[in-house]
Amino acid sequence: MAMRMSSLFLRTLRENPADAEVPSHQLLVRAGYIRRVSPGIYTWLPLGLRVLRRVEAIVREEMDAIGSQELLFPALLPREPYEASGRWDEYGENVFRLKDRKDADYLLGPTHEEMFTLAVKDLYSSYKDLPLSIYQIQTKYRDEARPRAGLLRGREFVMKDSYSFDLDEAGLDKSYQLHRDAYVRIFDRLGFHYVIVQAMAGAMGGSKSEEFLATAENGEDTYVRCPHCGYAANVEAVQVPVPDPLDATGVPAAHAEDTPDTPTIDTLVAHLEAAFPRADGRSWTAADTLKNVVVMLVHPDGTREPLAIGVPGDREVDEKRLGAQVEPASVEAFEEKDFARYPTLAKGYIGPGALGLEQSSGIRYLLDPRVVDGTVWVTGADESGKHVLDLVAGRDFTADGTIEAAEVRDGDACPSCGHGLESARGIEMGHIFQLGTKYAEALDLKVLDEHGKLRTVIMGSYGVGVSRAVACVAEGNHDELGLVWPRELAPADVHLVATGKDDEVFRYGEELTRALEAEGLEVLFDDRRQASPGVKFKDAELIGVPTIVVVGRGLAEGRIEVKDRRSGERREVAVADAVREVLAEVGRA
Ligand code: ATP
Ligand code: MG
């Protein structure tokens, strides 16, 4: 049934909503696709729902094509499975929890690993049942700290999530590749630019992990790529190439020096330059210093643990990279009151002397991988106004391990070929990863193998942000007039605008609408009698159906107009050829 503008449940707005900052959010609200109910929670209006359904249809087709089977879990879930996996606590404040009338705990599913695992455990018990791939397209709930940009980061959103179940690693590799291929087809059809980047497997364990990022300047994810070899990785997953150890024979013994009023790297470098000129003649730089940053980790059970990180002084600790490494713990600042509890830490002058589980502070100390044995540093002497010079890693100090938490910069060496990296931003649209046995172990999912022995099932996990895709496509497909949908996602194939006062125009508009529908097209017919042509054209441009057909004054001479929304090109066609011409325009000839 055609949608008629005279009765369609729609009000377009001329002004951007006050809370909308990014174009997709502004336009989806203005063009009447969605309405905000609460931060990060939206109503899908008829036009928006059509686009959402079209995205779902693409995802469903491609999932079905790789033999994945659709099912649907509830969103309202009991606590127990999440307790068993440890995630009732791990999820922290991100999960919506509630109680039923008997005071039993429930949650609104933020992701469904537990449910998938238990469902397979419930029904299957033999290797003969594997491999298996199952998926759902379902509403998820996450109490995001910063819901933003409309559908891009919602607190209620639609996700396609699927899981593969295999007996061995080789099977997992195959399932993973099938999904990867399906994702390439899905994102090609959705029509936005994307990159596939290496990603962190995160707290969930497992090994191989990749993200599909839609390239977007205002995206929340930063990724790096190597223009030379094609390496691409989410910044959180970048592994710094570890240099070879250096030979430090000949480096003088470490010596502590007075460096008054040098609590920052800049003040320290200036002081070194003035008071301790280097023997090799070059200037001191921030990269010669070792900066020790202490943060407070908050574990899911609420315990707090200080963590010290040593990075070259020319680099900051990157919050996101650090966060990804310490997950599921969260990171908080190390405050004055914390310093008071650890008196051996001299604020501004913290050095390896006080750090490490074996040292006076008992604080775990992790180093940037660049701080290899034999490297020489200037660093804090654990006393206000003092630094140590000629401190050699491995000779004079050790740490409890390494951590990938330093910022990644443009020009840093590519881990794969050594060329300079470039950074760019994107929006995470999909995520595939080899989950391994984490959930199968936690929830005891085992099957009998061909020798009658119990084996833990190996899982893969694969997600697509379905509602996020609607925003993402809008973000990449608009101009100053409004949205411009790719054909496969548009809420209609044709936006037919009847203009003027002439009854014949509206009668013919109705006739053409029916004729196009008979050919299988979906038509949005602007049959409003009161609205001016200007208003109608503006609405058509805002709504963004890719083909606009105008029936107006020319009809008396047997002509109508067919317009391409994207290029703005328009051409007149004879009424006698109208159906054929429109079909050709929409690519259905
Ligand atoms: P992000 O890093 O953006 O928070 P995530 O890594 O937590 O996402 P996953 O658990 O991997 O997300 O979920 C799979 C997909 O669901 C993501 O790739 C993304 O497209 C989508 N998604 C995740 N969170 C949201 C959200 N709050 N709103 C809309 N879509 C989301
Ligand atoms: Mg993810």
Interval 460-471: pLDDT, tens: 999 999 999 999
State the Cα–Cα distance between residues 498 and 477, nearest whole angstrom. 26
Kindly state if the Cβ of 89 falls inside 6 Å of ligand 1. no
Ligand 1 atom 29 nearest Cα? 153
Residues 389 and 503 in one domain: no
Ligand 1 atom 2 nearest Cα? 428
Using the mean position of ligand 1's atoms as its centre, give its distance from the Cα of residue 159 in Å: 8
Token pair recorded at residue 28 = 């989806």
Residues 143 and 280 in one domain: no
Q: DSSP secondary-structure letter at 243?
A: P
Report the phi/psi class of residue 282: left, alpha or beta, with left for phi > 0 and alpha for psi in -120 to 50: beta
Residue 422 or 202, more confident: 422
State the Cα–Cα distance between residues 9 and 47, nearest whole angstrom. 9
Residue type, 375: T
DSSP string of 23-84?
Answer: HHHHHHHHTTSEEEEETTEEEE-HHHHHHHHHHHHHHHHHHHHTT-EE----SEEESHHHHH
pLDDT above 70 for 521:
yes
Residue 147's pLDDT is what? 86
Q: Which of 325, 327, 415, 424 lies closest to 370, judged by CA?
A: 415
Choosing from 347, 368, 402, the residue where a domain stops is 402
State the Cα–Cα distance between residues 561 and 499, nearest whole angstrom. 12
Residues 498 and 469 in one domain: no
Ligand 1 atom 23 nearest Cα? 465
The stretch 399-422 carries a mean pLDDT of 93
How many domains does the chain divide into? 3
Ligand 1 atom 26 nearest Cα? 153
Residues 55 and 133 in one domain: yes
Q: What percent of the chain clears pLDDT 70, i.e. is strictly above it?
A: 99
Q: Which atom of ligand 1 is nearest to the CA of 159?
A: 16
Residue 204's pLDDT is what? 46
**Mutation to probe ligand 1, out of 159, 319, 429, 439 (largest number of atoms < 8 A from CB):** 159
Q: Please tell me the number of the ligand nearest to residue 142's CA.
A: 1
The stretch 414-429 carries a mean pLDDT of 93
Q: Which residues pair with 560 in a beta bridge?
A: 573
Name the strands in the sheet holding 96-99, side by side, starting at the edge strand that comes first in the sequence.
76-78, 105-108, 96-99
Residue 21's pLDDT is what? 84
Give strand ranges (E) for 356-436. 364-367, 376-380, 386-392, 401-402, 422-436
Least confident stretch, 243-247, 326-330, 409-413: 326-330
State the Cα–Cα distance between residues 372 and 483, nearest whole angstrom. 53
CATH number of the structural domain spanning residue 554: 3.40.50.800
The stretch 136-153 carries a mean pLDDT of 92
Kindly state if the Cβ of 465 falls inside 6 Å of ligand 1. yes
Kindly state if the Cβ of 160 falls inside 6 Å of ligand 1. no
pLDDT above 90 for 146:
no
What range defines the domain where residue 110 resides? 23-238+423-475
Q: Confirm whether 3 is domain-assigned.
A: no
Q: What is the pLDDT of residues 3-45, one digit of tens each?
A: 999 999 999 998 888 888 889 999 999 999 999 999 999 999 9
Residues 319 and 262 in one domain: yes
The stretch 87-115 carries a mean pLDDT of 93
Q: Confirm whether 27 is domain-assigned.
A: yes
Q: Please tell me the number of the ligand nearest to residue 464's CA.
A: 1
CATH number of the structural domain spanning residue 78: 3.30.930.10
Using the mean position of ligand 2's atoms as its centre, give its distance from the Cα of residue 296 in Å: 24
pLDDT above 60 for 72:
yes
Q: What is the pLDDT of residues 201-219, one digit of tens each?
A: 654 445 789 999 999 888 8
Q: Which helix (H) or strand (E) holds 320?
A: helix 319-326
Residues 215 and 355 in one domain: no
The count of other CB atoms within 10 Å of the CB of residue 6 is: 12
Q: What percent of the chain clears pLDDT 90, i.e. is strictly above it?
A: 83
Q: What is the pLDDT of residues 321-376, one digit of tens each?
A: 999 999 888 999 999 999 999 989 999 899 998 898 888 888 999 999 999 999 99
Residue type, 331: V
State the Cα–Cα distance between residues 267 and 259, nearest whole angstrom. 9
Residues 448 and 553 in one domain: no
Using the mean position of ligand 2's atoms as its centre, give its distance from the Cα of residue 429 in Å: 8
Using the mean position of ligand 1's atoms as its centre, give its distance from the Cα of residue 465 in Å: 6
Q: Confirm whether 99 is domain-assigned.
A: yes
Kindly state if the Cβ of 154 falls inside 6 Å of ligand 1. yes
Residue 192's pLDDT is what? 84
Residues 184 and 41 in one domain: yes
**Mutation to probe ligand 1, out of 151, 431, 433 (largest number of atoms < 8 A from CB):** 431
Buried b (16+ CB within 10 A) or exposed e, 385-400: ebbbbbbbbebbbebb
Average pLDDT value over all residues in the chain: 93
Residue 92's pLDDT is what? 83
Q: Confirm whether 10 is domain-assigned.
A: no
Residue 361's pLDDT is what? 86
Ligand 1 atom 31 nearest Cα? 465
Residue 454's pLDDT is what? 96
Kindly state if the Cβ of 113 falls inside 6 Å of ligand 1. no
